[in-house]
A = this chain, B = another copy of it.
């Protein structure tokens, strides 16, 4: 049972409750709000009474009652606290299904399975990881639609009850998310490659710019912006995330360092190393085809219709209105800001066969089109 859970003809619109949400930060409160919107009874618990009361005031649910067992528990506490909270919940309930939202899965699963809990309790734990978040935190920032269209990984192990995995997958779908089921190890290796390594790379490439002169910095283009965008992330948060997936990330960095060293050595070898450099770049082209494009499909090469746009309010709006009037569907949009000039170049990406009609249509309405 690996892959995308098929969407049933009649997607569930409510989950049988009560659902207990432990930890009413951004993720927990957003889950609670979404469940309340769909009519599910929600209980809330947080060691911080302030966070709890904000969540209650926002209509995310009611404080957990002194007695009674929930049908399902979502543990949405910080990563370091998650193992002990999950173990405590499994211990203190008889039949509740328990899930979590920690961003790496193998370590937590190991801690649960070696906790001394009996097998029937361990089988009630369905580990989860919603691929959603915002730049802000806390229950005040929570939104019922935070998970809409987002992937939500579920990572049952051999010890996990399949029926309970289906139960959590249905809850995830009812939040508007897309459940993707994989194993804890495969999950951690995947996020090491697709999320954690890119973060480390962005940070270490950006760190290399620290001693570059102002003029040197002006010679950079969109490529540098793309590669270093993640480097602005919060170091404290990311140090924790990386530590929680230490060995898969370290292994991915081992391989990356080997590939970088092959390019470096090839460059230093001159003519004799040219083939090695080229082979490395070709491997990148092959790997790049695996990066999901639109709708998770294989990436397509779009045609680019570039338009020069003045830096004035409303110009982008006017451009997109005119582009919309051509009937061509825009696949992607990039704005490349010019260096030292008050204009930008907007790159409209469209299917190759519709590029000419978009370019012609925009020229007709007076745009400076470069195609």
Interface residues of chain A, those whose CB is within 8 Å of chain B, are: 2-4, 131, 135, 143, 145-146, 148-151, 153, 178, 180-182, 186-187, 189-191, 193-195, 197-210, 212-221, 223-233, 235-236, 238-239, 242-243, 246-247, 249-250, 252-257, 259-261, 263-264, 267-268, 270, 274, 277-278, 280-288, 290-296, 301, 304, 308, 311-325, 327-330, 332-335, 337-345, 368, 370
Contacts and interface: CB of A to CB of B under 8 A. Distances in A.
B314 A324 contact: yes
A217 B194 contact: yes
A225 B274 contact: no
22 contacts: A3-B214, A3-B215, A148-B308, A149-B308, A149-B345, A151-B340, A180-B218, A181-B215, A194-B217, A195-B221, A195-B223, A198-B227, A201-B201, A206-B285, A208-B255, A208-B256, A210-B283, A223-B230, A227-B230, A232-B288, A315-B324, A332-B337
B328 A324 contact: no
A278 B243 CA distance: 10
Given A150-B338, A210-B283, A226-B227, 11 more contacts: A146-B370, A195-B221, A197-B208, A204-B283, A206-B290, A209-B290, A231-B288, A238-B281, A253-B267, A257-B257, A314-B324
Given A209-B290, A317-B325, A335-B333, A249 B223 contact: no
A38 B341 CA distance: 20
A79 to B, nearest CB: 14
B224 A195 contact: yes
B327 A313 contact: yes
Copies of this chain per assembly: 2
